[in-house]
């Protein structure tokens, strides 16, 4: 949701331009500030940002993105498994990437391709097996299971269009890393062989769509060893998110994943269904995390107009939440997990705006919710890791340090 | 002193409502901000808060409250001793707590009771001895000395009225913890036996007062291993505080404890005597810490009206200080060691206001001293641990880091 001022918007940010009466109402009744998800200037991933927003020290506990993505897609990841975040992508005959998202391939096509890939057999006698599952659009997860694996391997995803797919390499001298890289290179070659001849892709080309003829892998990760929110604060949390990465982080934090029909993690998600699920979840949980991925998607696409529209839809979603929770006994915080620039189309290290409203809040005089007005608010500048203690303090769930 | 906005005050805080011309004058001439004693959202104890305000990293050096309380009450605590903070309390015949403070028993009664308790002999041949001393009102300290003791034991104080006194239990598997728990359980039983038959208590019941028929123990602690302010900054510090906990922390930090006649640590304390002692102390010391406990007491009692009155009395006290120090050569900082909510009646993790005035300060445009106006000040949001370096820097006592 957060962005930098854009020339196209008269040097305003999408949040500054969007019509957002609900967010402004929350700002008026609450305490505002800006927040560095990790620390000033450090661009967070969606995984590390969500970890910190849940109160974890991501710099200490982060163990790679892959496992979160897999867990959030209902793929079981055991301690020792190495999980990867994958993309269906399009390459030419020289393995140069033409589209990192295979034209944001539809779930239907991706499912059919994934089914075929799961049938592949690993040949080398390495005691390893794999699970491959598509999630939303071009996104997928790959889990390698075996006795001698390591996360210390490079990505095959070059991260950019116009560059060649990379060979996966061990990043230390261990035998485990070497073995893991070998397994992956073999597997990804086989994936490519199957995909490039697959009827679904032949059909896509006929329809003028990019064929999903390769799987790009990145973010080798294992399950992090963290305490749950129950253990830390004695609370029950619920997660209303469609993006598997966010779901994975919440699951590892011990939160209940609420499935919402129509919630897709795309700009076409059913915002109102998510709002309703959140209000419902709050009846039986101490904390509900309502996450919308769509504004980030629009930013990565550099689609400023869509980003503004999505902020306005989020605002409508918040209207339902505002009208259906009791702010005399409930706290509501609105923020972004990171700044995504619609110009660089990347996550950036700029702080995000934050507002908290609810009873006994030291209300400030900020009247609008955006990156600049919030910087004048009573919270001043906090870190992502501070948000959970601040919220838990308000609901009486922090322990006094000292006596 | 710091609080949350209260419905009873039209959603203002006691500081916002109180008439406080001196504090406002300090705000007008100084630089303001908000400060998280430990970190955002974490409710500090009075001990950890004072440690951080003196520049120590409480998260690293804190070793329990008991030793501070004892040292501050002029009870000698040696390395290895285990000290407890105690309350004279009232229980029924089933050891259910009726009043955790025995009606805030007067010092006179508590002294007589303590004298009798100190005569008790420990029977078990455990090479242990004890010191018991009452401090202010219901407060007391207990120090156990012996070769095989541990702080890893639970409290006997259930912390709440209506609950039964707890047996002290070892919190690890060590022989030392087991032994310490055994000694304490024996001793506290003997205390109870003496107290319930004591003439002072029989007299109290006749006068309609709660008998102090039990000693509740909590916060096992040892002397922390920290450098003095002399060693760290090369300064001589003076402490003008009546609360033994604060005195203990200051003593451990190497500060001189100034005894002030009429300073009691209660709302009835002699504010002006403390102000005079502070001005006097500054003639021979680099730093004077003037601490008032009374506002915290009022908050724990949920007495909003009294809290406001006490803030106004603190303001009068500050008038004397302002009129009798040279602000052309002296720095004056005003803050709170933590937020105490008059509603929850607990320490809370909300930040406190802070102002620093004196020569060469980057004065800001804040005109009033309270939780919300200070949030707009030039100091922005700092941490308790930062205050001493900030002050020492102003008086030229910090060492350059680097060259």
Q: Structural domain boundaries of chain B?
A: 7-62+227-394, 70-221
Q: What's the angle, vertex CA A390, arms to CA B153 and CA B58, rounded to 5?
A: 45
CA-based nearest distance B8→chain A, Å: 11
pTM higher than 0.90: no
B40 to A386: CB separation less than 8 angstroms, yes or no: yes
CA atoms of A39 and B61, how far apart (whole Å):
25
Closest Cβ opposite residue B5 in set A360, A376, A398 = A360
Q: Are B107 and B134 spatial neighbours (Cβ–Cβ below 8 Å)?
A: yes
**Closest alpha carbon within chain B to A398:** B42
B349 to A390: CB separation less than 8 angstroms, yes or no: yes
Which residues does chain A have within 8 Å of residue B381's beta carbon, measured at their own beta carbons? 379-382
Provide the token pair at A29.
């009744």
pLDDT at A112: 97
Helix spans in A158-237 (H): 175-196, 199-206, 229-233
> Tokens 């004072």 belong to which residue?
B50
B372 to A382: CB separation less than 8 angstroms, yes or no: no
CA atoms of B200 and B196, how far apart (whole Å):
10
ipTM: 0.87
Closest Cβ opposite residue B42 in set A376, A379, A398 = A398
B347 to A376: CB separation less than 8 angstroms, yes or no: no
B44 to A364: CB separation less than 8 angstroms, yes or no: no
CATH superfamily, region B7-62+227-394: Alkaline Phosphatase, subunit A (3.40.720.10)
> Tokens 């004298």 belong to which residue?
B115
pLDDT at B125: 61
Under the banding of pLDDT at 50, 70 and 90, the label for residue B127 is confident
- pLDDT tens per residue, chain A (403 residues)? 999 999 999 999 999 999 999 999 999 999 999 999 999 999 999 999 999 999 999 999 998 888 998 999 899 999 889 999 999 999 999 999 999 999 999 999 999 999 999 999 887 666 789 999 998 899 999 999 988 899 999 999 999 999 999 999 999 999 999 999 999 999 999 999 999 999 999 999 999 999 999 999 999 999 998 999 999 999 999 999 999 899 999 999 999 999 999 998 889 999 999 999 999 999 999 999 999 999 999 999 999 999 999 999 999 999 999 999 999 999 999 999 999 999 999 999 999 999 999 999 999 999 999 999 999 999 999 999 999 999 999 999 999 998 8
A401 to B38: CB separation less than 8 angstroms, yes or no: yes
pLDDT at A162: 96
pLDDT digits (tens, 9 = 90+) for B343-393: 999 999 999 999 999 999 999 999 999 999 999 999 999 999 999 999 999
Closest Cβ opposite residue B375 in set A378, A389, A398 = A378
Of chain A residues 342-361, which have a CB less than 8 A from chain B? Answer: 360-361
B381 to A381: CB separation less than 8 angstroms, yes or no: yes
Closest Cβ opposite residue B372 in set A360, A362, A390 = A362
CA-based nearest distance A398→chain B, Å: 7
Q: For residue A103, give the nearest of A88, A115, A114, A113 by alpha carbon.
A: A88
Which residues does chain B have within 8 Å of residue A400's beta carbon, measured at their own beta carbons? 43-45, 346-347
B376 to A381: CB separation less than 8 angstroms, yes or no: no
């Amino acid at each position: 949701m957060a962005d930098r001022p854009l020339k196209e918007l008269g040097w305003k940010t999408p949040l500054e331009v969007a019509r957002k009466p609900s967010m402004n109402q929350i700002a008026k009744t609450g305490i505002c500030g800006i927040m560095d998800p990790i620390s000033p200037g450090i661009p967070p991933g969606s995984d590390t940002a969500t970890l910190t927003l849940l109160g974890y020290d991501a710099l200490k506990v982060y163990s790679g993105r892959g496992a979160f993505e897999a867990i959030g897609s209902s793929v079981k990841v055991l301690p020792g498994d190495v999980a990867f975040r994958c993309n269906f992508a399009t390459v030419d005959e020289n393995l140069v990437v033409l589209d990192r998202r295979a034209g944001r391939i539809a779930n239907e096509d991706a499912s059919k391709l994934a089914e075929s890939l799961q049938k592949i057999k690993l040949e080398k006698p390495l005691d390893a097996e794999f699970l491959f599952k598509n999630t939303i659009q071009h996104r997928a997860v790959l889990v390698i299971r075996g006795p001698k694996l390591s996360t210390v391997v490079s990505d095959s995803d070059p991260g950019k269009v116009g560059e060649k797919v990379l060979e996966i390499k061990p990043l230390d001298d261990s035998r485990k890393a070497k073995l893991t890289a070998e397994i992956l290179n073999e597997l990804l070659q086989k994936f490519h062989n199957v995909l490039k001849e697959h009827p679904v892709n032949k059909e896509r080309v006929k329809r003028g769509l990019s064929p999903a003829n390769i799987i790009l892998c990145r973010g080798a990760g294992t399950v992090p060893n963290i305490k749950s929110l129950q253990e830390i604060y004695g609370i029950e949390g619920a997660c209303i998110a469609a993006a598997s990465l966010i779901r994975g982080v919440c699951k590892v934090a011990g939160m209940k994943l609420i499935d919402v029909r129509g919630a897709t993690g795309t700009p076409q998600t059913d915002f109102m269904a998510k709002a309703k699920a959140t209000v419902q979840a709050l009846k039986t949980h101490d904390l509900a995390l309502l996450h919308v991925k769509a504004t980030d998607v629009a930013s990565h696409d550099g689609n400023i107009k869509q980003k503004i529209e999505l902020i306005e839809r989020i605002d409508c979603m918040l209207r339902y939440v505002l009208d259906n929770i009791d702010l005399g006994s409930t706290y509501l915080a609105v923020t972004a997990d990171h700044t995504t620039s619609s110009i660089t189309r990347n996550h950036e290290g700029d702080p995000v705006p934050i507002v908290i409203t609810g009873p006994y809040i030291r209300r400030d005089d900020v009247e609008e919710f955006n990156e600049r007005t919030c910087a004048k608010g009573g919270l001043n500048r906090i870190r992502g890791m501070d948000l959970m203690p601040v919220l838990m303090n308000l609901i009486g769930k922090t322990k006094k340090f000292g006596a």
